[in-house]
Structure 1
Amino acid sequence: MRTQVVIIGSGPSGLILGELLHKAGIDAVILDRVNRDYILGRIRAGVLETGTVGLMDEIGCGARMHRKGLIHEGVELSFSGRRCRIDLAGLTSSTVMVYGQTELTRDLMDHRESHGATTIYNAADVTPHDFDGDRPYVTYEKDGTTHRIDCDFIAGCDGYHGPSRAAVEGRGLETHEMVYPFGWLGVLADVPPAHEELIYANHPRGFALCSQRSLTRSRYYVQVPLDDRVEAWSDDAFWDELRRRVPADIAEAVVTGPSIEKSIAPLRSFVAEPLTFGRLFLVGDAGHIVPPTGAKGLNLAASDVHYLFEGLRDFYLDTSRAGIDAYSARALSRIWKAERFSWWMTKLMHRFPEDGDFGQKIQEAELDYLAGSIAAQTALAENYVGLPY
Structure 2
Amino acid sequence: MRRTQVAIVGAGPAGLLLGHLLRAEGIDCVIVERQTRDHVLSRIRAGVLEPATVALMRRLGIDTGLNANGIEVSGFGIADGDRTIRIDLDASVGQRLTVYGQTDVTRDLMDAAPARGLDIVFEAAGVALHDLGSDRAAVTFVHNGREQRIEADVIAGCDGFHGPCRRAVPGSAAASMEFSYPFGWLGILADVPPCSSEPIYASTDAGFALVSMRSPQRSRYYIQVPSDARLEDWPAERLWDELERRLGPASPGPIRRAPALEMSIAPLRSFVCERMRHKRLFLAGDAAHIVPPTGAKGLNLAASDAIYLAEALTLFFRTGEQGALDDYERRALARVWKSERFAWYLTKLCHRFPGDTPFERRMQQAELDAIATSSVTQAMVAENIVGAPL
Q: What's the TM-score once normalised by structure 1's chain length?
A: 0.98
Residue in structure 2 matched with residue 266 of structure 1 by the alignment? 267
Work out the CA distance in 2 between the residues paired with 1:376 and 1:169.
Answer: 41
- Equivalent position SS for 1:368: helix
Bigger shift: 215-224 or 112-121?
Answer: 112-121
- Equivalent position SS for 2:261: strand
- Equivalent position SS for 1:15: helix
Contact 1:30/1:118 (8 A) holds in 2: yes
Shift of 1:169: 4.5
Shift of 1:173: 5.0
Alignment-mate amino acid for residue 383 of structure 2: E
Shift of 1:168: 1.5
Contact 1:185/1:221 (8 A) holds in 2: yes
Shift of 1:355: 2.8
Residue in structure 2 matched with residue 208 of structure 1 by the alignment? 209
Work out the CA distance in 1 between the residues paired with 2:150 and 2:54.
Answer: 32
Superposition misfits of 4+ residues, deviation over 6 angstroms:
none
Residue in structure 2 matched with residue 294 of structure 1 by the alignment? 295
Structure 1 position 343 matched with structure 2 position 352? no
Q: Which digits, 9 at most, give the CA deviation of each residue in 1:242-297, with x for residues without a partner?
A: 01111426275111101011111110000001201111011010000000000001
Q: What 5-or-longer segments of structure 2 have no aligned partner?
A: none
Work out the CA distance in 1 between the residues paired with 2:324 and 2:97.
Answer: 28
Kindly report which structure 2 residues correspond to 1:245-256, keeping only aligned pairs within 5 A, or say none.
Answer: 245-248=246-249, 250=251, 253-256=254-257
Structure 1 position 143 matched with structure 2 position 130? no
Shift of 1:67: 1.3
Bigger shift: 109-118 or 206-215?
Answer: 109-118
Percent of counterpart pairs with the same letter? 51
Contact 1:126/1:139 (8 A) holds in 2: yes
Kindly report which structure 2 residues correspond to 1:1-389, keeping only aligned pairs within 5 A, or say none.
Answer: 1-170=2-171, 173-248=174-249, 250=251, 253-389=254-390
Q: What's the TM-score once normalised by structure 2's chain length?
A: 0.97
Contact 1:173/1:274 (8 A) holds in 2: no
Q: What 5-or-longer segments of structure 1 have no aligned partner?
A: none
Cα 1:220–1:171 change in 2 (3 A) is closer
Q: Say how many residue pairs are matched.
A: 389
Work out the CA distance in 2 between the residues paired with 1:169 and 1:361.
Answer: 45
Work out the CA distance in 2 between the residues paired with 1:171 and 1:222.
Answer: 33
Work out the CA distance in 2 between the residues paired with 1:202 and 1:120.
Answer: 44
- Equivalent position SS for 1:75: strand
Contact 2:153/2:280 (8 A) holds in 1: yes
Cα 1:343–1:172 change in 2 (3 A) is closer
Cα 1:302–1:289 change in 2 (3 A) is same
